[in-house]
Structure 1
């Protein structure tokens, strides 16, 4: 890559961080990301968290493969061994990922048993070492996603130190989920809703680190709220709202990236996803693996219930084909919508 092109690409990657669909285990797989990119051209898409050991020893094409249309796309990795994380980052870069992100926020039992994810908030030195190793291994940006603290930690005390360590280690960005994680007593689902949000603390971290990218995540339900956050921080991540009501992504380019207003072309999305499904069915995939990510597309619109019923029932049948997508779209008014 020429120096000029490399510089332009870096600028594009940095600009794309203004908005991202958050990494979500069991949700943001390659089929989800392909679908989301039909709605949003700007902004970043994330993989699910993939453990470094799986990248080193598993089926890399299955774990890391993605479609070129997904760019800019970020690989999120999990782990605590700096050498393994560095190698996983290098492999991710070789697959073409635009950025590598280290998970320091997931509170699941599986993550706790491996002493990584949110557990690492208790070991900031380990995270610092990992970021340095990953930065040395790749030329693409390396970022971190964390919580404001865990368990009995006082976020006001631990988060400023954590931010400083990430900045000094060379992280290109820090995404902060504005909630604590309770490693005992709350399920992963409860950890996404029960601990109170502290947006003001994240805002202060940005004010105290004006030259370091800080993005915010947690409890953000729409683009109006996202735009308000962008007056205080550098980037916004939308999680469940983007997944459960994906049509919101159709307004991202205009609302957050100043692109021209356009219409969601539902018929184009239908045809594109039918062709995509046909391709993957030919490779042994099941239709429901693709359509499960599309169920919320018409949320709140007339015919949405019938649309969901068709995708939820017909797409799960053994011989279901792309025509199921057409049948589902026929249940709603697919006229183009201005966004």
Structure 2
């Protein structure tokens, strides 16, 4: 369990400032090792956990699901669920871990999530979402937020989204992250739902103009800091980056503190590797495997000479029994330092 304070490690206003740039919650990707790596590149960006279901927290291995390194702050926990009582109980439990924000997932389109009546399917039930967030707020020590889509299936986003925001904000939520695509619950896979439905940034911008009192972040298809900064300049409060931050972490996070926040960490990718060494060594000493961490580092030298050999070495050798820091050294030897 991370060292905690009643309001998390980071104050309310600081978390909202951190939300100017955040890394999206991504299943199987944004685990605690990924988040620790990302924090070595940006001291300010807001980081999110993978989605964790409320029943898993109530009945499962809480330490495995909720533990994280205190260095990850500011860090938010994303919950999945649709039962207000369960979500409130999960929030009460998670409060002891000191997360800086609790977020409700109203955007994931996977079949497993739909069968549990949570994620994007909840766009069809704004009243239930309002009940859920009201219960969560009653149990929370930090801000409760919502990540949603602009609509699902045959819904008309221009009608559905404002009604959704009005209903849920009346329950006490004032910060929303909006994935600027519809989700098609039938006929498209989760991967296709991230790529095929057209982006509608204009609608999200319109929601910010219509509801200026709300803190609105945009998500979906954002691939560069320049694009993120342009969206902020158009009046949005925050930008959430997903796959680009994972596959090209230094290009997004390594420059974020300067470009988005006006100062902070200044490390090149080689310095990031050095900063990871003690963390990796500790993980290995505790019985962990190298690949559990280095799989998140494959894109660190994206676009630089030797990047392919770096990825290949970590991928092929990092999964072997007994793989240690020597594999990291071997991978690093392929990358020309003068290219940094």
CA contact 2:194–2:220 (8 Å) conserved in 1: yes
Distance 1:104 1:198 in 2: 17
- How far does residue 324 in structure 1 lie from its aligned partner after superposition? 1.1
Which stretch has the larger CA shift, 286-295 or 275-284?
275-284
- How far does residue 275 in structure 1 lie from its aligned partner after superposition? 1.8
CA RMSD of aligned residues (A): 1.9
- How far does residue 89 in structure 1 lie from its aligned partner after superposition? 1.4
**What do residues 129-173 of structure 1 show as CA deviations (whole Å, max 9, x unaligned)?**
011111111120000000000011111111000111122111131
Find the counterpart in structure 1 of residue 71 from structure 2.
69
Which stretch has the larger CA shift, 210-219 or 318-327?
318-327
* Residues 90-239 of structure 1 aligned to structure 2 (within 5 Å): 90-230=92-232, 231-239=234-242
Find the counterpart in structure 1 of residue 330 from structure 2.
327
- How far does residue 221 in structure 1 lie from its aligned partner after superposition? 0.4
- Structure 2, unmatched stretches of 5+, are none
Which stretch has the larger CA shift, 161-170 or 142-151?
161-170
Find the counterpart in structure 2 of residue 22 from structure 1.
24
Distance 2:190 2:276 in 1: 31
Distance 2:257 2:114 in 1: 37
CA contact 1:175–1:214 (8 Å) conserved in 2: yes
3-state SS of paired residue (1:143): strand
**CA spacing shift, 1:6–1:42, aligned 2, 3 Å:** closer
Total equivalences in the alignment: 335
3-state SS of paired residue (2:151): strand
**Counterpart pick for 1:281 among 284, 287, 291:** 284
**CA spacing shift, 1:9–1:137, aligned 2, 3 Å:** same
CA contact 1:19–1:43 (8 Å) conserved in 2: yes
Say if 2:300 is the partner of 1:303: no
- How far does residue 128 in structure 1 lie from its aligned partner after superposition? 0.4
CA contact 2:269–2:301 (8 Å) conserved in 1: no
- How far does residue 284 in structure 1 lie from its aligned partner after superposition? 2.2
**Counterpart pick for 2:36 among 34, 37, 41:** 34
**Counterpart pick for 1:266 among 256, 262, 269:** 269
Find the counterpart in structure 2 of residue 51 from structure 1.
53
**CA spacing shift, 1:172–1:92, aligned 2, 3 Å:** farther
3-state SS of paired residue (2:197): coil
**Counterpart pick for 1:254 among 248, 252, 258:** 258
**CA spacing shift, 1:6–1:114, aligned 2, 3 Å:** closer
**What do residues 235-272 of structure 1 show as CA deviations (whole Å, max 9, x unaligned)?**
00000000000112111011011116x64233432223
3-state SS of paired residue (1:75): strand
Scaled by the length of structure 2, the TM-score of the pair is 0.95
Say if 2:246 is the partner of 1:243: yes
Distance 1:295 1:43 in 2: 20
3-state SS of paired residue (2:180): strand
3-state SS of paired residue (1:233): coil
CA contact 1:274–1:323 (8 Å) conserved in 2: no
**Which fold has the larger relative contact order, with Cα–Cα distance below 8 Å and residues 6 or more apart in sequence?**
2
